[in-house]
A and B are shown apart, each in its own frame.
Chain A
Amino acid sequence: MATGEPVLAMERADLELGGEVAARGPWRLAWERLRRDRAAIAATAFIVFISLVAIGAPLVAHLTGHPPDAQYRDTGLSINGIPVGPNRTFLFGTDELGRDVLVRVAYGARISLLVGAVASGLAVLVGIAVGMCAGYFGAAVDNLLSRFMDVILSFPLLLFAIALVTVVGPSLPLSVAIIVFFSWAPVGRVVRGQVLSLREKEFVEAARSVGASDLRILAVDILPNLAAQIIVYATLLVPLSIVFEATLSFLGLGVVPPTAEWGSMLAEAVSYYQVAWWYVAFPGAALLFTTLAFNILGDSVRDAVDPRGERMFVRG
């Protein structure tokens, strides 16, 4: 909707003006559509903002004078250990140990964005590799890899995560590994499906007939044709990873205290929401708006790349 109308108007304008006619590739068109999508612009702006906050977390700590793990037991807590609300010293209030929620939300952004980017990046890489192998080589390889993906997709995710963390102990790299493990399979399936049809195309036949190796065909001929889908998928995978990581931390399976992280802040805040709304509100809002921004951006990218609105496979 938002993308369709302006694009048509623009194209008509070009024709009416009768000016220079320039050939515009699909990428250029997608970019034009995206640029005119206000929701996408707002989402991008928020992502840039939260990224700056993440990068500048030490600056936030410096400006407030509150290191992320410092406990302000006298000024930041009542005698009974109840957090104090937003005030001049603590703009976002304090948590149950008298720490500055503002500073911790800023530091939490680092973990969330880092995990979001790293985990979804790795998941996409694994998904591409497995999906392309399955789709291109077909037969036994496809059978094996596809069943493997089915197994992953049918794994009881949280049970598995809880069991693993109990054995190994919680840590950030482990959270990333768990997220990647559970996120790559849908990407793999989509890629496999695409590659199945692409490998029958004439340009692939042509490449094969001139003696190109499988690796070259995959990298040079097929991969670029997957780019649109992959970009869309990666954008949508980021918020999923962020929420997944927050879920793990919420359950005590993610980062180890005293590291600030949105999910674990929310977990601790749950028992305080009646007396300390700020403790649940700020990390909650940060998580909500960050995932919302990535989701909106992802949707817009998909609309821009694929204006007819044909929905790709989306993990349920």
Chain B
Amino acid sequence: MGESYVAPVPCGDDAPKLTRRDRGRRIRSGAAALAATLGLVVAACGGGATTGPSPSGTAHRGGTLVLVGKGDVDHMDTASAYYTVTDMLMRAFTRQLVAYPASNDFKTATTPVADIATQVPTKANGGISADGKTYTFHIKKGVKWDTNPPRQVTAQDVVLGFKRLCNPVNPVGAPGYFEGTIAGFKDYCEPMLKIDGTVDAIKSYIQSHDISGITTKGTDTVVFHLIQPASDFLNIMAMTFSSPAPEEYLNYVPDSAEFQQHTISDGPYRITKYDPGKEIDLARNPAWDASTDPLRKAYVNQIKVVEGLDPTASYEQIAAGTADMDWDNPPPTAQLAQLVASHDPRLEVGPPGSLNPYIVFNLQSPNENGALKKLAVRQAIEYAVDKVAVEQIYGGPQFNTPATQILTPGNAGYQKFDLYPTPGSKGDPAKAKQLLAQAGYPNGLTLKMIYRTNSVHPQVAQTYQASLKQAGITLQLIPVPPSDFYSKYLEVPSVAQQGVWDIADPGWVPDWYGNNGRTMIQPLFDGRTYGPDSTDFGDYNSPAVNADIDKALAAPTADEAGKYWHDADMQIMKDAAVVPVLDQRLYFMRSSRVQNYIVSPFTGDGDITNVWLK
């Protein structure tokens, strides 16, 4: 993969720019709230499936769905939008060649199906070439832009969507996905990032340059030529970045204020009002033909997003029924206990699938004679950590599962294993001590841990301190400002080399689920990407894992890729590069009139195009 790979989703509250920060933010505040107030046991959440009420009664069309929350979208342009709330909104006014269906079954909800494409390309239907390097999509007739008059979405629009990704003003946040798969994308992209950010310069570059790996046949067929087979290519095509763009978009600087007032929809809704930071209104798009769209039922007539409300205010509006769904504020601390205690059906719980938090070891630290370079020391810490204690901080077993590996259930390559089992996942100090003695630290050692001062991070840090203490490891806690945690500590190699920190507790949420090694294992453990801004925070570099990553990314099928992802997962855990601590779920609040609330694992939010109002 190219060296310009940009990590998709460091999560946690304060992820670096260009990431899906809202997801992290939701986890953060949600966890804090949960930790604070869960009094009683909630109804068990179903295994791998997302929970959601089964629709009661018949679906009703009409009404205005009101979402309330604090922040705004990050961008209104599909080329740069990367927040989860933005993805949630974009489902209403953008469409992709393939997209994820709304489903309570995790496997179904994470497998792309045809959206504006006539069918999902496969080798069987000839959409994917025998060598797995060519993908052909045909665009459905009747998928139209909301222009005057409505105009058919064409293959050229799809190409334009990709060509706009590398505009120098608001480029795509995850170029690595495209550079690493589509032939010629990098060659097209790199010079474009250096041109002037004017309408004319961007327009003339787009009109005079082509991405060699994306070609069209007629107006309804688009063909992608890949560098090598990529079994997760459809997942990449299902990202909002991969949306087609109408030619009118060439008349604006990407995602400029003017652009934001002139979005053109091919989805069931169109934006009728956008007042940044205050309000977003959507109404039905007359150009949308329901028969072309199997994914969005579009029951409600209007969608209104009201911004600038704090969590308590938005909770109260939803509880009172004057608003329907939370936009970016999960239910606050004070009220959550009651929701949980009363088994309130308005509290919705999302799917598992994150690695949040985990402990990363600084493998370059010189402290204690380079203790963390020794496998036995890292393994000792694997045994020493009391994961149930951290689970208590994050709200208990209903919302968390102790993690024992990198890949989570439901994802390609997941095979359950636990190399460092401890009784009840509560840690095994005796075993840890024994390993430390073997490593030459019979009297224990002292390590430095940096932690963020916000949310529950201080509590989590103290819990690690307490459980490692029982194994003879003294953790020296060093508070750091949340905004500096990644940018000035974890992502700076010189800080790691000086031994400013030995361990830290970042979090990670993948960009998609299912066949997602490219957004889990690769960014976190591909040692060849180490350097400034790398998300391989600890400088883990294993030739075996790197080889597995290469093989997995080039594997023709998800199943085959899964084998390599599993091998990488196993090797990483054998090397004890990190301590997986928890796999967390998100949770949400909806009003009682909202029916058919389905959490999309991809957007990490409820699906506004499929709810209906009682």
- Residues of A in contact with B (beta carbons under 8 Å apart): 69-71, 73, 77-82, 96-98, 166, 169-170, 252, 256-258, 268, 271-272, 274-275
Q: Please, how many angstroms separate the alpha-carbon atoms of A69 and B467 in the complex?
A: 11
Query: Does A81 lie within 8 Å of B395, measured CB to CB?
Result: yes
What are 30 sample pairs from A and B whose C-beta atoms fall under 8 A apart? A69-B462, A71-B462, A71-B466, A73-B386, A79-B397, A80-B38, A80-B39, A80-B395, A80-B396, A81-B35, A81-B38, A81-B393, A81-B395, A81-B396, A82-B37, A96-B36, A97-B463, A169-B478, A169-B479, A256-B477, A256-B479, A257-B477, A258-B462, A258-B466, A268-B459, A271-B33, A271-B37, A274-B37, A275-B37, A275-B39
Question: Which residues on the B side are within 8 Å of A70 (C-beta)?
Answer: 466
Smallest CB-CB separation from B467: which chain A residue?
A71
Q: Is B282 an interface residue (CB 8 A)?
A: no
- Residues of B in contact with A (beta carbons under 8 Å apart): 32-41, 333-334, 337, 386, 388-389, 391-398, 426, 453, 458-459, 461-463, 465-466, 477-479, 481
Q: Please, how many angstroms separate the alpha-carbon atoms of A69 and B463 in the complex?
A: 10
- With A71-B389, A257-B462, A258-B465 already in contact, the answer to whether A274 and B334 are too (CB < 8 A) is yes
Query: Does B462 lie within 8 Å of A170, measured CB to CB?
Result: no
Secondary structure at the B interface, as helix, strand, loop or mixed, is helix
Q: Please, how many angstroms separate the alpha-carbon atoms of A197 and B148 in the complex?
A: 87
Q: How far is the CB of B423 from chain A (nearest CB, A)?
A: 12
- With A70-B466, A169-B479 already in contact, the answer to whether A257 and B461 are too (CB < 8 A) is yes
Question: Which residues on the B side are within 8 Å of A170 (C-beta)?
Answer: 479
Smallest CB-CB separation from B465: which chain A residue?
A258
Query: Does B398 lie within 8 Å of A166, measured CB to CB?
Result: no
Question: Which residues on the B side are within 8 Å of A169 (C-beta)?
Answer: 478-479
Q: Please, how many angstroms separate the alpha-carbon atoms of A272 and B463 in the complex?
A: 18
Secondary structure at the A interface, as helix, strand, loop or mixed, is loop
Beyond A96-B459, A97-B459: 4 further Cβ-contacts under 8 Å? A73-B389, A78-B396, A272-B36, A275-B337
Query: Does B37 lie within 8 Å of A73, measured CB to CB?
Result: no
Q: How far is the CB of B315 from chain A (nearest CB, A)?
A: 14
Question: Which residues on the B side are within 8 Å of A78 (C-beta)?
Answer: 38-39, 392, 396
Query: Does B481 lie within 8 Å of A166, measured CB to CB?
Result: yes
Question: Which residues on the A side are within 8 Å of B334 (C-beta)?
Answer: 271, 274
Query: Does B39 lie within 8 Å of A71, measured CB to CB?
Result: no
Q: Please, how many angstroms separate the alpha-carbon atoms of A272 and B36 in the complex?
A: 6
Q: Please, how many angstroms separate the alpha-carbon atoms of A169 and B451 in the complex?
A: 12
7 smallest beta-carbon distances between A and B, as pairs: A81-B392, A80-B396, A80-B38, A271-B36, A258-B462, A271-B333, A71-B466
Smallest CB-CB separation from B483: which chain A residue?
A166
Q: Please, how many angstroms separate the alpha-carbon atoms of A271 and B38 in the complex?
A: 11
Question: Which residues on the A side are within 8 Å of B40 (C-beta)?
Answer: 80
Q: Please, how many angstroms separate the alpha-carbon atoms of A71 and B460 in the complex?
A: 12
Q: How far is the CB of A252 from chain B (nearest CB, A)?
A: 5
Query: Does A73 lie within 8 Å of B388, measured CB to CB?
Result: yes
Query: Does A79 lie within 8 Å of B479, measured CB to CB?
Result: no
Q: Please, how many angstroms separate the alpha-carbon atoms of A12 and B343 in the complex?
A: 75
- With A166-B481, A271-B36 already in contact, the answer to whether A73 and B392 are too (CB < 8 A) is yes
Task: Kindly identify which residue among A77, A82, A97 contacts B462, using a CB–CB cutoff of 8 Å.
Answer: A97
Q: Please, how many angstroms separate the alpha-carbon atoms of A71 and B392 in the complex?
A: 12
Task: Kindly identify which residue among B35, B397, B426, B477 contacts A96, using a CB–CB cutoff of 8 Å.
Answer: B35
Question: Which residues on the A side are within 8 Å of B333 (C-beta)?
Answer: 271, 274
Question: Which residues on the A side are within 8 Å of B36 (C-beta)?
Answer: 96, 271-272, 275
Q: How far is the CB of B32 from chain A (nearest CB, A)?
A: 7
Q: Please, how many angstroms separate the alpha-carbon atoms of A79 and B397 in the complex?
A: 8
Q: Please, how many angstroms separate the alpha-carbon atoms of A79 and B38 in the complex?
A: 9
Task: Kindly identify which residue among B33, B392, B458 contacts A257, using a CB–CB cutoff of 8 Å.
Answer: B458
Question: Which residues on the B side are within 8 Å of A274 (C-beta)?
Answer: 37, 333-334, 337
Q: How far is the CB of A157 from chain B (nearest CB, A)?
A: 20
Q: Please, how many angstroms separate the alpha-carbon atoms of A12 and B334 in the complex?
A: 62
Smallest CB-CB separation from B460: which chain A residue?
A97
Smallest CB-CB separation from B338: which chain A residue?
A274
Q: How far is the CB of A158 from chain B (nearest CB, A)?
A: 16
Smallest CB-CB separation from B42: which chain A residue?
A80
Question: Which residues on the A side are within 8 Å of B395 (C-beta)?
Answer: 80-81
Question: Which residues on the B side are within 8 Å of A258 (C-beta)?
Answer: 462, 465-466, 477
Question: Which residues on the B side are within 8 Å of A77 (C-beta)?
Answer: 392
Question: Which residues on the B side are within 8 Å of A166 (C-beta)?
Answer: 481
Q: Please, how many angstroms separate the alpha-carbon atoms of A81 and B39 in the complex?
A: 8
Question: Which residues on the A side are within 8 Å of B396 (C-beta)?
Answer: 78-81
Q: Please, how many angstroms separate the alpha-carbon atoms of A72 and B479 in the complex?
A: 24
Q: Please, how many angstroms separate the alpha-carbon atoms of A243 and B526 in the complex?
A: 50
Q: Please, how many angstroms separate the alpha-carbon atoms of A275 and B339 in the complex?
A: 13
Task: Kindly identify which residue among A71, A256, A268, A271 contacts B463, using a CB–CB cutoff of 8 Å.
Answer: A71
Smallest CB-CB separation from B475: which chain A residue?
A258
Q: Please, how many angstroms separate the alpha-carbon atoms of A258 and B334 in the complex?
A: 25
Q: Please, how many angstroms separate the alpha-carbon atoms of A236 and B398 in the complex?
A: 51
Q: How far is the CB of B29 from chain A (nearest CB, A)?
A: 11
Question: Which residues on the A side are within 8 Å of B398 (C-beta)?
Answer: 80
Question: Which residues on the A side are within 8 Å of B479 (C-beta)?
Answer: 169-170, 252, 256-257
Q: Please, how many angstroms separate the alpha-carbon atoms of A197 and B21 in the complex?
A: 64
Q: Please, how many angstroms separate the alpha-carbon atoms of A109 and B479 in the complex?
A: 23
Question: Which residues on the B side are within 8 Å of A275 (C-beta)?
Answer: 36-37, 39, 337
Which of A77, A169, A170, A274 has the most B CB atoms < 10 Å from its CB?
A274
Smallest CB-CB separation from B456: which chain A residue?
A96
Task: Kindly identify which residue among A79, A252, A271, A272 contacts B392, using a CB–CB cutoff of 8 Å.
Answer: A79
Q: Please, how many angstroms separate the alpha-carbon atoms of A73 and B36 in the complex?
A: 15
Q: Please, how many angstroms separate the alpha-carbon atoms of A169 and B476 in the complex?
A: 14
Question: Which residues on the B side are within 8 Å of A257 (C-beta)?
Answer: 458, 461-462, 477, 479
Question: Which residues on the B side are within 8 Å of A268 (C-beta)?
Answer: 459
Q: How far is the CB of B101 from chain A (nearest CB, A)?
A: 33
Query: Does B386 lie within 8 Å of A96, measured CB to CB?
Result: no
Smallest CB-CB separation from A170: which chain B residue?
B479
Query: Does B337 lie within 8 Å of A252, measured CB to CB?
Result: no
Q: How far is the CB of A248 from chain B (nearest CB, A)?
A: 13
Q: Please, how many angstroms separate the alpha-carbon atoms of A118 and B337 in the complex?
A: 42
- With A79-B397, A81-B38, A82-B38 already in contact, the answer to whether A69 and B466 are too (CB < 8 A) is yes
Q: Please, how many angstroms separate the alpha-carbon atoms of A69 and B462 in the complex?
A: 9
Query: Does B453 lie within 8 Å of A80, measured CB to CB?
Result: no
Smallest CB-CB separation from B333: which chain A residue?
A271
Query: Does B32 lie within 8 Å of A271, measured CB to CB?
Result: yes
Question: Which residues on the A side are within 8 Å of B32 (C-beta)?
Answer: 271
Question: Which residues on the B side are within 8 Å of A256 (C-beta)?
Answer: 477, 479
Question: Which residues on the B side are within 8 Å of A98 (C-beta)?
Answer: 392
Q: Please, how many angstroms separate the alpha-carbon atoms of A249 and B553 in the complex?
A: 49
Smallest CB-CB separation from B461: which chain A residue?
A257
Q: How far is the CB of A175 from chain B (nearest CB, A)?
A: 14
Smallest CB-CB separation from A71: which chain B residue?
B466
Q: Please, how many angstroms separate the alpha-carbon atoms of A263 and B460 in the complex?
A: 19
Question: Which residues on the A side are within 8 Å of B394 (C-beta)?
Answer: 81
Q: Please, how many angstroms separate the alpha-carbon atoms of A78 and B395 in the complex?
A: 10
Q: How far is the CB of A76 from chain B (nearest CB, A)?
A: 10
Q: Please, how many angstroms separate the alpha-carbon atoms of A80 and B392 in the complex?
A: 5
Smallest CB-CB separation from B391: which chain A residue?
A81
Smallest CB-CB separation from A167: which chain B residue?
B481
Q: Please, how many angstroms separate the alpha-carbon atoms of A271 and B334 in the complex?
A: 7
Question: Which residues on the A side are within 8 Å of B391 (C-beta)?
Answer: 81
